[in-house]
Chains A and B, each alone.
Chain A
């Protein structure tokens, strides 16, 4: 008997033992000539399986389930507790009004989970921009940028899977923009009116209330906003998108973090750092996973996205040090 035949017999016995609940004796009866050779191997396999039938610790299981359910709810809601949960009421109202002006409530909700090949994608980008503009402090903006970067990564994986090199490259630039913008906010340099940002500085950073320059549908798209033909977008011009960090010199001050005291600021930075460490790991895993599965033609573009992601998170974490 050659090895291949024995491999098949061994496997047949294992299938019967492991999946069908047969006994060792039944296997030996089925293959009497190989019984002596099978016996030690099957016993080892069964003993190994029995020994490794382990369970996670109950406290970990409970914590993991809670965290997962929280993430699940966030994803299902298609929105973030961080960006909306502690908004001033007026800002929430204004955001909703703006969203409705832009595209209508149902459309906005539907757009939130849309992908770049969807007609609603430009609505998604526009809504994100409104959220970013209305988010009240720089640390919250940095956190929102982190969430938006996550979205770009998921979109990159999605478009790479479809073999769309052009979209992967566009999304990679958007990812890069988001990560760079995050660094700007981390460093407290977002207190000025950034090119492409909507409205005035947030309440902590300016005496005047925000939204003095509320977006309109005629705002010219800038770099980062998809041209309609690029994403099959409907005739909704997204407002100006976040762009690369400004070169303007901005004072480094506590005000950049919303005038918080040291302990609150340090706590926020530590929280953001944890988030970014986790995001960097998970996004790398997502992109590497995609790299295993996508068509060969998109792999180079995906590798560039991976490099941009790794470099961007590294810079953001450096900025938090």
Chain B
């Protein structure tokens, strides 16, 4: 993929090929991000498509202000998810104290192969911010700096959320495995 800034500028000039490249580059990543955020792989499909249609409509308003294009795109995805969850009244289940404080099981959940449903289910127990970080880092493979841009937080705060998110995920998976 050519330099992203020039690609985006071409897309802003309605260059179809440039926008198509952006689409191909980000489609799967945005899809995985949304899937983990809403916990539903099928619903995530339509939301993903809407993110790209929205970005097509509003790309002319995008301005380079030192932030990566991905931050802008993920922000659209984030807003799409927020809208969706508001409509569905799906509220993330907060991580229960018992789960947080539960001890490690010797047979670690992560040591065996997890399937996507387990991870999606466990992710629902994370806080919104933890889930956002885990989504962006592990499904979309954004760097800490990029995640910080998307979330509007400092890199230190994102690292702390990453740490607590992984700890929470592990504990939930361990508890669920024991049930």
Q: Could you say which of A10, A47, A76 contacts B110, with CB atoms under 8 Å apart?
A: A47
Query: Which residues of A52-79 are within 8 A (CB) of B?
Result: 52-57, 60-61, 64-65, 67-69, 71-73, 75-76, 78
What's the Cα separation between A278 and B113 when bound, in Å?
A: 39
Q: Could you say which of A7, A11, A68, A157 contacts B53, with CB atoms under 8 Å apart?
A: A68
CB–CB B104/A282 < 8 A: no
CB–CB B138/A157 < 8 A: no
Task: Assign chain A's interface to a size class.
Answer: 35 or more
User: Closest CB-CB distance, A19 to chain B, in whole Å?
Assistant: 7
CB–CB B61/A56 < 8 A: no
> Which residues on A sit within 8 Å (CB–CB) of B48?
56, 64
Contact with A along B111-125 (1 / 0, CB 8 A): 101111011100000
Q: Answer yes or no: A106 CB below 8 A from chain B CBs.
A: no
- A60-B45 contact given A48-B114, A48-B169, A282-B53, CB 8 Å threshold: yes
Most buried by B among A8, A11, A161: A11
Q: Answer yes or no: B129 CB below 8 A from chain A CBs.
A: no
Binds A, one of B1-9, B27-35, B94-102: B27-35
What's the Cα separation between A150 and B54 when bound, in Å?
A: 11
Q: Answer yes or no: B92 CB below 8 A from chain A CBs.
A: no
What's the Cα separation between A45 and B170 when bound, in Å?
A: 9
CB–CB A76/B49 < 8 A: no
Contact with A along B38-77 (1 / 0, CB 8 A): 0001001100111011101110110100000000000110
What's the Cα separation between A54 and B41 when bound, in Å?
A: 9
> Which residues on A sit within 8 Å (CB–CB) of B83?
281, 284-285, 288
CB–CB B58/A289 < 8 A: yes
What's the Cα separation between A57 and B61 when bound, in Å?
A: 31
CB–CB A285/B173 < 8 A: no
Residue of A nearest to B120 (CB): A52
Q: Answer yes or no: A300 CB below 8 A from chain B CBs.
A: no
CB–CB A113/B79 < 8 A: no
Q: Answer yes or no: B127 CB below 8 A from chain A CBs.
A: no
User: Closest CB-CB distance, B130 to chain A, in whole Å?
Assistant: 12
What's the Cα separation between A67 and B76 when bound, in Å?
A: 19
- A44-B169 contact given A14-B137, A154-B57, A285-B80, CB 8 Å threshold: yes
> Which residues on B sit within 8 Å (CB–CB) of A46?
110
What's the Cα separation between A290 and B63 when bound, in Å?
A: 11
User: Closest CB-CB distance, B113 to chain A, in whole Å?
Assistant: 7
> Which residues on B sit within 8 Å (CB–CB) of A61?
27
- A282-B50 contact given A4-B156, A76-B14, A150-B57, CB 8 Å threshold: yes
What's the Cα separation between A154 and B57 when bound, in Å?
A: 7
Q: Report the count of interface residues on B (CB-CB < 8 A).
A: 61
Q: Answer yes or no: A317 CB below 8 A from chain B CBs.
A: no
Q: Could you say which of B50, B60, B120, B134 contacts A281, with CB atoms under 8 Å apart?
A: B50
Q: Answer yes or no: A40 CB below 8 A from chain B CBs.
A: yes
Q: Could you say which of A14, A40, A75 contacts B170, with CB atoms under 8 Å apart?
A: A40
Q: Could you say which of A4, A18, A60, A285 contacts B138, with CB atoms under 8 Å apart?
A: A18
What's the Cα separation between A286 and B108 when bound, in Å?
A: 43
CB–CB A41/B31 < 8 A: no
CB–CB A10/B163 < 8 A: yes
CB–CB B32/A67 < 8 A: no
CB–CB A49/B52 < 8 A: no
What's the Cα separation between A56 and B46 when bound, in Å?
A: 10
What's the Cα separation between A40 and B54 when bound, in Å?
A: 40
Q: Answer yes or no: B25 CB below 8 A from chain A CBs.
A: no
> Which residues on B sit within 8 Å (CB–CB) of A257?
none
Q: Interface on B for A, CB 8 Å cutoff?
A: 14-16, 19-20, 23, 27-28, 31-32, 35-36, 41, 44-45, 48-50, 52-54, 56-58, 60-61, 63, 75-76, 79-80, 83, 104, 108-111, 113-116, 118-120, 134, 137-139, 141, 143-144, 156, 159-160, 162-163, 166-167, 169-170, 173
Q: Interface on A for B, CB 8 Å cutoff?
A: 3-4, 6-8, 10-11, 14-15, 18-19, 40-41, 43-57, 60-61, 64-65, 67-69, 71-73, 75-76, 78, 113, 115, 150, 153-154, 157-158, 161, 278, 281-282, 284-286, 288-290, 292-293
Going nearest first, the 8 A-B pairs with the smallest beta carbon separation are: A44-B110, A7-B159, A49-B138, A44-B170, A51-B114, A43-B110, A47-B110, A76-B14
